[in-house]
Structures are given as C-alpha cells and as structure tokens.
Structure 1
Amino acid sequence: MARPQIQFTPIGVVRTEHICAEKTPIQPVFARQCAGRIEVFPEFVDGLRDLDGFSHIHLIYHLDRADSPKLIVRPFLQDVERGIFATRYPARPNPIGLSVVELLRIDGGVIHFRGADMLDGSPLLDIKPFTSKFDCIEATRNGWYDEVDTETTRRKGLREYEQAAKP
C-alpha cells in the first residue's frame, strides 16, 4: 500500500532570540523568561480572532534544522539510548515541534508570547488554544523521565541559556 504524501503550508514564522540549538532551553518550562513573537502571514491573520481570550497556546512548528531522523537517540536529560517516540528529541521521522507558551498579547498579525524554546525563524504550522478543560491531565506515569532528578532536569533543560544570560 502506497503511503500518502502529506504537505503543510506554514501560517507564519516564529521569532526568538535563539539562533544556536545547543544553547536553547529544551522545553518551555525552562524558557519561561524567553520572549518570542510570531509573525502570522497576512492571509491567516483573520484566524487569530478570539485567540486573545486565552492565557496559553499550543504552537506547532517545523523543526527545520533538526538532524536526520533517528529511531534510537540519547535524550538531553540522560546518557541512555531511548526510542525516539519515548523522547522529545528533535531528530524525528516527522520533525514537528510542540510547545505550550504563555500568550502575552496580539498586535494585528503579531503574537507576543513567553516560553520560547524554539529557534528563530522556525516555520509555524498551527496554533491551538490551551484550555484546562481539555489539556490539563494529571500524569500518573512519566516513563524514564521519573529516573532523572529535579536538579539534573533543571540544569540540562536550561542548557547554556542561563550562563549566557548572566552579565
């Protein structure tokens, strides 16, 4: 059976201070102080209507500078090989990023947010509102992530950002 080809059209571009993947926080929780903005392409601006009523949004974007796909990787938080689908590692068969960020404001076709953990210039594929009515699930199992202590998670999650941000 032939696999269907799937094509996406970016709806905008993400602008952040991050230009080097190795110095970018690895999840929004470690990028809370990192501001970003989305420049939505003019033909999609009408779709932003009513989005300003939400405190947080899901950003779905293309990891356009990710390494070639791998099925077994060493995640950022451990030096143990894991299956790609049990990690958030970017070298995926379909390099799609997902971040929940804090929506600060919308100025026309520009969305300002906090929690930028993506590289500057990342193509934005979609925006979805975060709502606690659907998205807030108390995890009962966190897989191998439970093996990593909180301090190691914080240190490795911040990567080089915290050191670079110091005067």
Structure 2
Amino acid sequence: MIELEPIGVIHSPFTERGTAPRQGRACCEPVQVEIFQKYAPGLGTMEGMSHIWVLYWMDRAERDVLFSRRPDWDEPRPVFTIRSPARPNPIALSIGRIEEVSGRTITVTGLEALDGSPVLDIKPYVAEIDCIFDAQNPFKK
C-alpha cells in the first residue's frame, strides 16, 4: 500500500481546469507553495537556491484516461509519453523559480498548478544532475 500525506498546499491565481498555462515554465504569475507547520523545519533557508522541483497532486484531473489529445494534435497519444494532467496517478512535476522565501511560504514562478493543489514534495533543482542535453523526444515538432 502506498500512503501519501501532503506537506503543503499551493496558492495560485489559476482556480479551475483550463485556466493554467499548458506548461508552467513560461508562466510569470507568482504562485505560493505553503508548507504545513509540521514540515516547516525541513525548509531551511533555501539560501543560494534559484529553482526547486515541486511535486504536487493534480486533484482535479481525470484519472481514467490512457490516451489524451491536444487541439493541435491529429491523434490522441498514450499518457505515459506526454505531460497531460489526465492520467491514472495525476502527480505533477514542475520546476519553480524561487522569487521569495518567507516563513513557510516559497513564492515561485513557472508553476502551472491550480489553487489548492496538495504539495507532495519539494526538491532542489540541480542543473548538473537534472539537465540532460542529449535527451530525445519523438513528439517534438
């Protein structure tokens, strides 16, 4: 059995499906990642960090979909080959640029999360580990 307990919640200007950008990286809207008091000691100061991975639960996504299609695609594609929120376990993985850390709240840009989304984890983004320059994508246009 897998048990997940949210460590926080996202406060976002995007309130319902379809209002968030398709990919957060291009998003300039500030989003607050609030960490619950119980987990606050795990934050530290985050000094020297510019970006974090934010893993969150897309709680309003469809969970019974194995193929998804964007309007600009001719055919639906398998969900494990695309980044659609509709999937069996709607776990999102996004990179947020840290704009400010204040108490238990990390303000970031670049996140496409809906308001109230449960935060599962945060991790530092480390370019030397996380950036793979020769990665290939057969769906790239």
Check whether TM > 0.5: yes
Instruction: Specify which of 89, 93, 97 is matched with residue 102 of structure 1.
Output: 97
| TM-score (norm: length of structure 2) | 0.93
Distance 2:72 2:30 in 1: 24
* Paired positions, count: 141
Post-superposition, which runs of at least 4 consecutive aligned residues in structure 1 deviate over 4 A?
A: none
2:78 match: 83
Matches of 2:25 and 2:54, distance apart in 1: 14
- Note if contact 1:75-1:82 (Cα within 8 Å) is conserved in structure 2: no
Tell me how far apart the structure 1 counterparts of residues 71 and 118 of structure 2 sit (CA, whole Å).
23
Percent identical pairs in the alignment equals: 36
Cα separation, partners in 2 of 1:76 and 1:11, compared to 1, 3 Å: farther
Equivalent positions of 1:101-140 (< 5 A) are: 101-140=96-135
The structural deviation recorded for 1:75 is 3.6
Q: Deviations over 1:28-48 (max 9, x none)?
A: 2221x1111011100101101
Match 2:31 to one of 36, 57, 81 = 36
Residue 63, structure 1, aligned to residue 63, structure 2: no
Output the CA distance in 2 between the equivalents of 1:100 and 1:56. Answer: 7
1:142 paired to 2:137: yes
Cα RMSD over matched residues?
1.4
Contact 2:33 2:106 in 1 (8 A): yes
Structure 2: state its 5+ residue gaps.
Answer: none
Aligned to 1:155: none
1:9-56 C-alpha deviation (Å, 9 max, x unpaired): 00000011001221210112221x111101110010110114232100
Contact 2:56–2:93 under 8 Å retained in 1: yes
Match of 1:92 in 2: 87
Counterpart for residue 52 of structure 1: 47
Which one has a larger percent helix, Structure 1 or Structure 2?
A: 1
- Other structure's SS at 1:45 match: helix
CA distance in 2, matches of 1:35, 1:77: 28
Aligned residue type for 2:13: E
Question: Any unmatched runs of 5+ in structure 1?
Answer: 148-167
TM-superposition CA deviations, 1:92-141 (whole Å, max 9, x none):
11110110010112111111111121100000000000011211111442
